[in-house]
Structure 1
Amino acid sequence: MTRLWTTLRQTARLMVGMPDYDAYLRHMADHHPGAPVMDRTAFFRDRQEARYGGRNGGRCC
């Protein structure tokens, strides 16, 4: 039941554009063990910029 809840929560977050920080941490630990890891705030800002574009691009509204 816990695995189902986790999957549903992750799916709902992705549907509304909220990135999964815990998945990012697992990915970094598994694939890039020596690399620096962003804190939650930096991760959110990075994902937001990737989705909507930076200050010099992206959508107008």
Structure 2
Amino acid sequence: MLTYIKESVEELRNNVTLPSRAESSNLMVVVAVFSILFALATWGVDSAFAQVIKAYFGFLSGN
């Protein structure tokens, strides 16, 4: 287990490069925009299903 940890730390030090600050900022904006779009899409589908269910049960109860 200790060997695995040592090799992992060594690989992180030698083979992993972090993106620049500008690239990180750009990626953060992309993730935020897609998160908002996905949340809006989820809200829209949820609202549509809620209306369908209300209409279905209203039809069943005769209202």
What TM-score, normalized by structure 2, do the two folds share? 0.31
Structure with greater helix percent: 2
Higher relative contact order (CA 8 A, sep 6+): 1
